[in-house]
Amino acid sequence: MASGFFVLLDDIGVLMDDVLVMSKISAKKTAGILADDLAVNAEKASGFSSSRELPVLWAITKGSFLNKLIILPFVFLLSAFLPSAILVVLVAGGAYLAFEGVEKIADYFFPDNIASVIPKSELLSKQALFNLETKKIKSAVLTDFILSIEIIIIALGTVVNESMGMKLAVVTIISMVATAGVYGMVGLIVRMDDLGYKLVKLSKGRKNSLYFIGMGLVNALPLVIKSLSVVGTVALLLVSGGIFVHNVSFFYHFLEGIPSMLKDLIIGASVGTLTLFVVKLFKKIYDTTFKSRES
């Protein structure tokens, strides 16, 4: 009986080795989308007061883990019983990401923000700040949901010929590690000024390497935060464009001969512009119809 127990342990060890190997392969396949995920979420988790950065980031992180718990069984059920629906989910998610990216660009040139709705006297009120914070958290969690679908489906594609146990283990590991890794990095980015202040304090007033590194981190944060907005927007368009290029044959053969990144960006921006136009049109029709009924 003891020998049987050790044989079982050996089998478990071999299985874990296989899971780790396949997880490494999946991690390489999802590296690009994880980099974009980092840029997008770092931008969404920034812009808050220092005391609210970590609570907001934690709220988004919890939302991301909840997203994974919802998506994992959903994707596995679709892949088992209705695999063709995965493509529809991917394309719909890509259209949303493209829409969000183009909407951010449109809002930059044609601002229509909360400042135009809330009176200036209320802009700094606790309720107004809470509303802004809640809105941004919801937006970040929704974007994470779409990006998580892409990550999970890519990871699943690398183990499509493996057993169900292997699929579950590898995809679950990738999705959980992705969340912890991405939001851990986001936390380091948004709190880099605190690290800088601590290094300056450790220098004890002497202008040594600790002082210059600390001041460099403190002075770099505003530039990093500003650049994250641009990088996050471009990442949204690149991810969405990549979804269409790799899953829709028309876009795969569209604009052949140009660099793949530029192709993804152009397609993402084009799809986003079209989606934004359709959404605005339907919103205008709905508002007109609703107001006419009221009157």
pLDDT, tens only, 141-151: 888 888 788 77
Residue type, 134: T
Domain ranges of the chain: 16-294
Residue 53 or 139, more confident: 139
pLDDT band (50, 70, 90) for residue 266 = very high
| Phi, psi torsion values for 255, nearest 5 degrees | 55, 45
Confidence tier at 32 by pLDDT (50, 70, 90): low
3-state secondary structure 44-91: HCCCCCHHHHHHHHHHHHHHHHHHHHHHHHHHHHHHHHCCHHHHHHHH
pLDDT in the model for residue 271? 93
Q: How far apart are CA 85 and CA 12, in angstroms?
A: 34
Q: What is the per-residue pLDDT for 22? A: 47
Q: What is the pLDDT of residue 137?
A: 85
Instruction: Give CA–CA dist 46/102, Å, rounded.
Output: 20
Over residues 263-289, mean pLDDT: 89
Highest mean pLDDT among 229-233, 235-239, 262-266: 262-266
Plot region of 58 (φ>0 → left; ψ -120 to 50 → alpha; else → beta): alpha
Helix %, strand %, coil % for the chain, to 5?
85, 0, 15
What is the reported pLDDT for 211? Answer: 83
DSSP at 121 = G
Q: Which is more confidently placed, 161 or 9? A: 161
Q: What is the pLDDT of residues 225-234, one digit of tens each?
A: 777 778 778 8
